[in-house]
Amino acid sequence: MRPLTEHDIRTSFINCSKGEAKRAGLPRDLADLPWDDLDFLGWRDPGAPERAYLVAEADGSLVGVALRVTSGASRSFTARSMCSFCLTTHTGGGVALMTARRTGEPGRQGNTVGQYLCADLACPLYLRGKKEAAGAGVVDESLTPAEKAARAHANVRAFLDKVTA
């Protein structure tokens, strides 16, 4: 994706207040992120571990979503879980349940959408082999990295559609 500025990111959020968007802790060194390898940008708030964010391009515009992280405390250390965006399997808390408040009236009523995702939201890097999941058993697939990235992006889009539906 194209490199994003702080302004791009803060104005992209669709499911949080202007104040929350302003206070969101952004990744450090935005300019140095591996943008060429990112199908979307996801990160944990450096100042608030229970918060995470996701920004993706959808139909030419940026869509940002604020997420709440529910730690997988009930999951045993050895259990494997899979990220529903990139299908990478992790052990030991490498996957976390993340919930997004829905937009509009459902959101005002407290409705959320939740999915199990890579806890660091670094899906594009796992897909390209630039980051390795702890204890991961790589699913033997015949897809190329580009095909996996396209599938992950489609999964992200489907998630965004649920948030805004």
Local structure of 23: helix, strand or coil: helix
Q: Which is nearer to Zn ion, 31 or 134 (CB)?
A: 134
Is 86 near Zn ion (CB under 5 A)?
yes
What's the CA gap between 123 and 152, in Å, rounded? 8
CB of 11 to Zn ion, least distance (A): 25
40, 43, 85, 116: residue in contact with Zn ion (rule CB under 5 A)? 85
Is 118 near Zn ion (CB under 5 A)?
yes
Q: What are phi and psi of 163, to 5 degrees?
A: -65, -40
53 strand-pairing partners? 43, 66
Is 123 near Zn ion (CB under 5 A)?
yes
Q: Which is nearer to Zn ion, 21 or 96 (CB)?
A: 96
Q: Which is nearer to Zn ion, 21 or 160 (CB)?
A: 160
What's the CA gap between 122 and 38, in Å, rounded? 9
CB of 4 to Zn ion, least distance (A): 19
57 strand-pairing partners? 62
Binding site residues, Zn ion, CB under 5 A: 83, 85-86, 88, 118, 123
